[in-house]
Amino acid sequence: MIYLISDGLSNAFGLAIALVGVALEIASYPYMKHRFHVLELPEQFDVYYLLFTLCAASMELLIYSYNLLLIYIALEVSLITPVILIYYYGYDTQGKSRRWIALLYFVYGMLASTLFLIGAVLVALENNTMDLAAIKNISLIAWALMFIGLLIKLPSFGPHVWIPWVHGSHPTPVAALISGLVGLMAYVLARIYIISPPYFINEFRLPILIYAIVGGIIISLGVIRHQYHYKWLLAYSTAANSTYLLIGLALGSYGILGLTMHYISHLFGKTVLFMTAASIIVYYEEFDIRKMGGLQTYIPSVGAAAVLGWMALSGVLTLSMLAEFYLFLGLVNVILHHTHYGYLLA
């Protein structure tokens, strides 16, 4: 059976994407009007909005799908549409053309989707279905393939190298939308984890946690190299914040609750920050943070929005702070569970 599901988890993610998608559709008009002028193109709003809306709709399909085949279709649509948007309307950045970056994104995305599809086919052969509600068993190899594929798109440490190029080249409203798309990979993994025997995540919990924490630290250090390019800085922030989602996935029910809250907080905060970047680009065509001093003086609305966005990302009096609390509860619960289990064995 191929169908959609509506529950608390899907609705939390779905509502967040809907709100951000509508806001970005509105903000896209003045931004793309400026972008068409810079590219010396006629105003192709029909093409842009078609592709943008398809991308947002595929994200909603990804959230509400309850069949692995339908999830794969959503992954493909959510890959192809932003690739086209980069190719035609993106930026050349760091010495690379937007067409080279579009190809880079396509290759990484197709690799991730292919690994996920192979894992899904193995699940179908084992269970004679791709319906998540009917799946009774997921083998280690199937879990590993889907897990690795989605980690490439999350993006986790190692495969994360694609995201600074993509965020730096995308039309800025699209980059904001993509920052929400990559986090949905953790949602898909959480869905599979909930319906499957917990062998994979429970068995490899410690390696996953170590990989996420160490990888997050190393990704954060990457900011040092590109700290002055505003959109590249936001890209590294997206990759670093994705590690919180991976940590939440490994911490049971509390962790998934923390994962959900952190995703929503990060999505709203990162959208605000990308829109501050868009405002500066429209007015000044500037990406270098060193030349943006005095925002509070010259563009106070943009400066105030940037402060709120960074507060959301850093967990200062926002939903992200509550998310970190639940991640901490999940960690304590896992430690107590393993300590108790070890004591019983002894």
The per-residue pLDDT for range 20-72, each reduced to its tens digit, is: 999 999 999 999 999 999 999 999 999 999 999 999 999 999 999 999 999 99
| Model confidence pLDDT, tens digit, residues 197-254 | 667 888 888 888 889 889 888 887 776 666 678 888 888 888 888 888 999 988 888 8
Q: How far apart are the C-alpha atoms of 184 and 13, rounded to whole Å?
A: 8
Reading the block at residue 121, the tokens are 């086919």
pLDDT band of residue 327 (cuts 50, 70, 90) is: confident
Structural domain includes residue 302: yes
Nearest to 279 by CA among 31, 16, 17: 31
Residues forming beta bridges with residue 96, ordered by sequence position:
93
Residue whose token pair is 């800085």: 233
Structural domain includes residue 1: no
Long-range contacts of 197-203 (CB under 8 A, 24+ apart): 197/137, 197/138, 199/140, 199/143, 200/138, 200/140, 200/143, 200/144, 200/147, 201/249, 201/250
Q: Residue 346's pLDDT is what?
A: 38
Q: Quick check: helix, strand or coil at residue 97?
A: coil
| Model confidence pLDDT, tens digit, residues 131-187 | 998 998 888 999 999 999 999 998 888 888 888 899 888 899 999 999 999 999 999
Structural domain includes residue 187: yes
pLDDT over 50 at 344, yes or no: no
How far apart, in Å, are the Cα atoms of 76 and each of 21, 48, 69, 104, 285? 19, 18, 11, 15, 32
Q: Residue 89's pLDDT is what?
A: 93
Q: Quick check: helix, strand or coil at residue 166?
A: helix
The values of phi and psi at residue 40, to 5°, are 60, 45
Average of per-residue pLDDT values in the chain: 87
Q: Residue 341's pLDDT is what?
A: 45
CA dihedral over 265, 268, 270, 272, signed as positive or negative: negative
Most confident of 97-111, 147-161, 183-197: 97-111
Contact (CB, 8 A) for 189 and 147: yes
Contact (CB, 8 A) for 139 and 145: no
Q: Residue 63's pLDDT is what?
A: 95
Q: How far apart are the C-alpha atoms of 345 and 170, rounded to whole Å?
A: 54
Structural domain includes residue 206: yes
Question: Domain span at residue 21?
Answer: 8-345
Domain count, the chain: 1
Query: CB neighbours of 179 closer than 8 A, spacing ≥ 6?
Result: 167, 234, 238, 266, 267, 270, 271, 274
pLDDT over 50 at 343, yes or no: no
Structural domain includes residue 158: yes
The values of phi and psi at residue 345, to 5°, are -65, -40
Structure-derived torsion over alpha carbons of residues 102, 104, 105, 110, reported in degrees to the nearest 10? 120
pLDDT over 80 at 77, yes or no: yes
Long-range contacts of 308-312 (CB under 8 A, 24+ apart): 308/269, 308/272, 309/269, 309/270, 309/271, 309/272, 309/273, 309/276, 310/269, 310/273, 311/269, 312/265, 312/266, 312/268, 312/269, 312/270, 312/272
Reading the block at residue 166, the tokens are 């993509």
Cβ atoms < 10 Å from Cβ of 137: 11
Structural domain includes residue 2: no
Structural domain includes residue 3: no
Share of the chain above pLDDT 70, in %: 94
Structural domain includes residue 175: yes
The values of phi and psi at residue 53, to 5°, are -65, -40
Share of the chain above pLDDT 90, in %: 47
Question: What is Dmax (Cα atoms) for the chain?
Answer: 74
